[in-house]
Structure 1
Amino acid sequence: GCGKSTTARVLMQLINQDSGELVFDGETVGSRALPLRQFRRQAQMVFQDSYSSLNPRMTIEDSIAFAPTVHGLPSREAITRARDLLARVGLQPERFAGRYPHELSGGQRQRVN
């Protein structure tokens, strides 16, 4: 109730602030020097409800590979990266890549996020 989630959403520019500016590493976010897309590549938000931030119709592998694909990475490379990331957070790709969010525990979904 003290505004942590709202502050995080403002920092990620998911909602607009009423006044002021957001400065990251000495640059104004959203400026020519630091476009929002470049800032978001360097920042991360972990939502409190890990289930609501995953698409229930996409496999875990597809969910992780989605953002790199949007940023121009070929699909095959994005899938390889997704599988590598799963392994790095302790989720065996051969067991978890093809699962859907409802098939994971809360902690596993948090690691996916």
Structure 2
Amino acid sequence: MTEPLRHSYSKDVNSLRIAMESFTQLAKDDPQRPQVLTDLRARTGALSINLQSEIDKCNNLLSDLPTYVDRTPHGGWMDALRGTLTEECRKEKQVCTSLEYDLSFDLGSTWVWSNEVLGVEQA
């Protein structure tokens, strides 16, 4: 994972928090909305935590891999170990990418829903 991804992730989470604050205020005005907002916040919050955890794991593997490669002799089981570590990195990257997509989708759904709520409020 690269630094721009982390920056993008942080920006998305901050945008989500701002949206949630707005939704919470709207929920105070309508007793039927709080449960929906609570569920949405819990679901998105859990996804954000999972994504950050996976990104951290991926970053750790990627930063450790060159050290393993540089310090181990080539040939035999060492090459097999390097292959295994590389494969683990690839798996983690896939998990990160998948979770990042899920978070982006969730954020998109959140904004669509917020526009609907704001449209109802303004009508």
State the TM-score, normalizing by the size of structure 2.
0.24
Greater RCO (Cα-Cα under 8 Å, separation 6 or more): 2
Counting helix residues as a fraction of each chain, which structure ranks higher?
Answer: 2
Larger Rg: 2
